[in-house]
Structure 1
Amino acid sequence: MLKEASEKRIRLITIMAFISIPLSGFVTDIYLPSFPSMAKGMQVSEKDIQITLTSYLLSYGICQLFVGGILDSIGRYRPKLVALFLLVISSILITMTDSILLICLLRILQGAAVSVLVVATRAIFVDIYDSEKVKHYLSYFTIVWSLGPILAPFLGGYLEKLFNWHANFYFLAFYAGGIFLFEWFFSGESLPEKKRLNFSENISLYKMMLKNRIFMLGIFILGLSYSIVMLFNITGPFIIENTFHFTPVVIGYCTLILGFSWMIGGFIGKRRITLDFKARIIQPIIFQLFMIACLIVISYFAESLFIMVPFAFFIHICSGILFTSFFTTSMLYFPKNAGTAGGLMGGLVYIITSLTSFIISVSGNVTEQKDLSWRYLIIALLLLGIIVIMNKVLRKEKAEN
């Protein structure tokens, strides 16, 4: 039992937990620069390649709804080992096939595996540390996690240039395999007392939360905010390589820059968390719509990587601000059931993002800068509509109280 382990072993397990956190971002984003070459190599459409990412996101989101309760019942250690093993095997199998259907099925398996890893890793800190240290360590989670989406496409671009798209999944197998070996030899079960799995209680909690309008509107805002980022991730590589004729390395640099924009938005959102609704929420969405409108107008006169990426940089900062603002308020909305609320929120956010990504994939090829900008506008207008509805609901509740 890790609760009784030596201080040195606990410190080592903590370090490895933080090393494993960015893995989820790597599984999502490392092969983004390889989208065009995968489509050419397999002789399939852009839509087919994009659906491999949608499959992963949908699986990751759905599994988060149930994983927490299961891990509380059977423990963290063995499910984490199984998840890491499946991640290694599935990554290797992806390199051995040209079947999009099989790749999508394996990506669904990876989504389930990563959901177990993320929830189990987060739970380990709660299991082995007191409340003050838990707050201290969990405050770094978002920052450490963001290293995955920032660094993964950058690394993936170079792997694509030096080898091919298969190298991305060999890297994932190596990354997950290293963590698996550490867990096997040095880690152990952290759950001090297993709880009886009570589906009826969880379902009752979910029903109560789903009926809360503010909580649900916040989740939709989180999902659409993240969808704006994913829009560039699934369409940008094709525009950069096929239209602007740059290499996968350049795609990696672009996603690296936009990864930093998301992080910057997060820091700005955190500093503005005490402001009123208009300053904290309305101003960023209005500025985002203004930047998108400017990009649409400019796109009919000039299209260039050096136009598209700077505009996307500021558009993604606004999404980062909105995401951070609503993530914080949503997590605090049910303080007595924070774990269940966090699982429901995280799961639904990824489900919304996956559905949005699927709609984008089947809406037609995004080959030009203006195609991207119009889709930015559609999602941003949906965001604005939900924000306006939330503002009205908040005002009504305030008047009633």
Structure 2
Amino acid sequence: MKGNNKAVKIFILGLLSAIGPFSIDMYLPGFPSIAKELNTDVSNISLTLSSFFIGISSGQLIYGPLLDKYGRKKPLYFGLSLYILATLGCALATSVHMLIGLRFLQAIGGCVGMVASRAMVRDLFDVEENAKIFSLLMLVVGVSPIIAPTLGGYITAVLGWRYVFGALVLIGVIILVLCITILPESKKPNPNYSLAPKAILGKFADVFRQSQFVIYAITGAFTAAGLYAYIAGSPHVFMEIFGASEEQYGWIFSIVAGGLILATQINAQILRFTTSQKIVPRAILLQCFTGLLLLAGFIWHWWGLNSSVVICCIFLACQGFTFPNASAIAIAPFEQNAGSASALMGCIQMLAGTLSSALVSIFHNETAIPMAFVMALCAFTALTVLVTGKRIVKYKCSQQQVEKKSTEMLSEI
């Protein structure tokens, strides 16, 4: 594969992977404006995040079999077209209930990029190159939580929140055109692949019989759920309580996201000297302590804007150590059924994120306490699952396998 052609394919696959993060992060600075125009409050607007997470979690399970049955590009065209139409509907939404429903459809369409890009990396490149290619994809994906909220903040301030979704429509159209004109079909349709529910559910059931997967997938999911609680609650906390502007919130979100990205790179270096099994409990303990510190500070009014940003940054940086290692341990035992394990792991993660973001809305009381409480709750839930579950886990993989999977997972978060 020629260098320039290869770079273009990697760039397009990176854009496909970034659809979900951009769709989550870019409209966050517009929460107060959306709530005001739709005659509701920010807690109800946060439910548009919950519906989006539900769409992503269910969509991943749908597209896996479709991509194997019909090839990569036909499901990709369908999903991107649905994403574009639903995003256009979001820009024209006249009520919060309409926006919640359209965000669900937007997620169902957009998550095809997350699933298809991973599958096409395996199709288009040598197996030995896959970890390197995933790392290159993250050069595109990794900047999304830094650029998206900042860009969304400026668009909201200058043009209004509806133009944020207009920008996402434009991004979706560009990606679809690139997929049609440049990206090759990487897998022929398989008419023998069964879409019968019994066959698909049987593969998922085999995964759930592995205790190592169950314990570490749930542990990783709840550490990640703390991030979604932050995403759901931070617009209210920083813009309405601390008075940050849309532009300032974009920069705050970028700083916190930068801490998470930095932590993943530090984790990659630490793995040279220790094991994933040792990193996970230590990182979760630090996350629990930081979550309690954040909650106590909000209850007794210790923290201002800057200190709150720093503590949130530390809390979420812990995910950069916990999630890739827990995910690597969870998926390491699987050779033949790794695809089903990966899809289920993504589904569990998004369901936990849906629950945490919904709890932030349910507990909303015009203070910063609900966000901090749910963040801390997620960390302690993860610790409880890990401590309880480790007693029954029988590891079915070598430490070398875990470290290899952990390095691969680092390139996918």
Instruction: Report the counterpart of residue 357 of structure 1 in structure 2.
Output: 357
Against the structure 1 CA distance between its residues 141 and 72, is the aligned structure 2 distance closer, same or farther, given a 3 Å change threshold? same
Q: Give the match's secondary structure for 2:15.
A: helix
Matched, 1:69 2:69: no
Task: Find the aligned partners of 1:13 and 1:180 in 2 and give their Cα distance.
Answer: 13
Does structure 1 conserve the Cα–Cα contact (< 8 Å) formed by 2:52 and 2:104? yes
Q: Give the match's secondary structure for 2:256.
A: helix
Against the structure 1 CA distance between its residues 8 and 280, is the aligned structure 2 distance closer, same or farther, given a 3 Å change threshold? closer
- The amino acid that maps onto 2:79 is A
Task: Find the aligned partners of 2:6 and 2:138 in 1 and give their Cα distance.
Answer: 21
Instruction: Report the counterpart of residue 220 of structure 2 in structure 1.
Output: 222
- Shift, 1:32, TM fit: 0.7
- Shift, 1:152, TM fit: 1.2
Against the structure 1 CA distance between its residues 232 and 394, is the aligned structure 2 distance closer, same or farther, given a 3 Å change threshold? same
Task: Find the aligned partners of 1:296 and 1:10 in 2 and give their Cα distance.
Answer: 48
Matched, 1:35 2:11: no
- Shift, 1:232, TM fit: 1.4
Task: Find the aligned partners of 1:86 and 1:279 in 2 and give their Cα distance.
Answer: 43
Matched, 1:181 2:180: no
Does structure 2 conserve the Cα–Cα contact (< 8 Å) formed by 1:223 and 1:352? yes
Instruction: Report the counterpart of residue 294 of structure 2 in structure 1.
Output: 295
Does structure 2 conserve the Cα–Cα contact (< 8 Å) formed by 1:270 and 1:325? no
2:149 to 140, 144, 153: 153
Task: Find the aligned partners of 1:355 and 1:370 in 2 and give their Cα distance.
Answer: 17
Instruction: Report the counterpart of residue 330 of structure 2 in structure 1.
Output: 330
Q: TM-score, normalised by structure 2?
A: 0.88
In terms of mean alpha carbon deviation, does 198-207 or 160-169 score higher? 198-207
Task: Find the aligned partners of 2:270 and 2:154 in 1 and give their Cα distance.
Answer: 37
Matched, 1:111 2:107: yes
After superposition, residues 246-285 of structure 1 pair within 5 angstroms as 246-273=244-271, 275-276=274-275, 279-285=278-284
Does structure 2 conserve the Cα–Cα contact (< 8 Å) formed by 1:222 and 1:349? yes
- Shift, 1:370, TM fit: 3.7
- Shift, 1:100, TM fit: 1.8
Task: Find the aligned partners of 1:142 and 1:392 in 2 and give their Cα distance.
Answer: 35
After superposition, residues 82-93 of structure 1 pair within 5 angstroms as 82-93=78-89
Instruction: Report the counterpart of residue 310 of structure 1 in structure 2.
Output: 310
- The amino acid that maps onto 2:292 is A
Does structure 2 conserve the Cα–Cα contact (< 8 Å) formed by 1:261 and 1:314? yes
- Shift, 1:150, TM fit: 2.6
Does structure 2 conserve the Cα–Cα contact (< 8 Å) formed by 1:91 and 1:169? yes
Tell me which stretches of 4 or more aligned residues in structure 1 moved more than 4 Å. Answer: 5-11, 395-398
- The amino acid that maps onto 2:224 is Y
Q: Give the match's secondary structure for 2:143.
A: helix
Task: Find the aligned partners of 2:91 and 2:49 in 1 and give their Cα distance.
Answer: 16
Instruction: Report the counterpart of residue 347 of structure 2 in structure 1.
Output: 347
Give CA-to-partner distance per residue, 1:205-232, whole Å, 9 cap, x none: 2111112222112121122111111111
Structure 2 gap ranges (5+): 398-413
1:58 to 50, 54, 57: 54
- Shift, 1:382, TM fit: 1.0
- The amino acid that maps onto 1:213 is S
Structure 1 gap ranges (5+): none
Instruction: Report the counterpart of residue 122 of structure 1 in structure 2.
Output: 118
Task: Find the aligned partners of 1:336 and 1:315 in 2 and give their Cα distance.
Answer: 35
Task: Find the aligned partners of 1:161 and 1:115 in 2 and give their Cα distance.
Answer: 28
Instruction: Report the counterpart of residue 18 of structure 1 in structure 2.
Output: 14
Does structure 1 conserve the Cα–Cα contact (< 8 Å) formed by 2:19 and 2:113? no
Instruction: Report the counterpart of residue 209 of structure 1 in structure 2.
Output: 207
Q: TM-score, normalised by structure 1?
A: 0.91
Does structure 2 conserve the Cα–Cα contact (< 8 Å) formed by 1:270 and 1:324? no
- Shift, 1:70, TM fit: 1.1
Give CA-to-partner distance per residue, 1:300-327, whole Å, 9 cap, x none: 1433111211011111111221111112
- Shift, 1:41, TM fit: 1.4
2:235 to 237, 241, 244: 237
- Shift, 1:11, TM fit: 4.7
Q: Give the match's secondary structure for 2:186.
A: coil
Instruction: Report the counterpart of residue 391 of structure 1 in structure 2.
Output: 390
Task: Find the aligned partners of 1:120 and 1:45 in 2 and give their Cα distance.
Answer: 36
Task: Find the aligned partners of 1:395 and 1:219 in 2 and give their Cα distance.
Answer: 15
- The amino acid that maps onto 1:346 is G
- Shift, 1:369, TM fit: 3.5
Q: Give the match's secondary structure for 1:140.
A: helix
Instruction: Report the counterpart of residue 378 of structure 1 in structure 2.
Output: 377
Does structure 2 conserve the Cα–Cα contact (< 8 Å) formed by 1:331 and 1:342? yes
Against the structure 1 CA distance between its residues 196 and 149, is the aligned structure 2 distance closer, same or farther, given a 3 Å change threshold? farther
- Shift, 1:377, TM fit: 2.1
Q: Give the match's secondary structure for 2:142.
A: helix
Task: Find the aligned partners of 2:100 and 2:297 in 1 and give their Cα distance.
Answer: 37
Matched, 1:96 2:92: yes
Against the structure 1 CA distance between its residues 395 and 131, is the aligned structure 2 distance closer, same or farther, given a 3 Å change threshold? closer
Against the structure 1 CA distance between its residues 372 and 102, is the aligned structure 2 distance closer, same or farther, given a 3 Å change threshold? closer
**Percent identity at matched positions?**
21
Does structure 2 conserve the Cα–Cα contact (< 8 Å) formed by 1:25 and 1:147? no
- Shift, 1:107, TM fit: 1.2
Does structure 2 conserve the Cα–Cα contact (< 8 Å) formed by 1:239 and 1:368? yes
Task: Find the aligned partners of 1:128 and 1:277 in 2 and give their Cα distance.
Answer: 30
CA-based RMSD of the aligned residues comes to 2.3
Task: Find the aligned partners of 2:112 and 2:358 in 1 and give their Cα distance.
Answer: 24
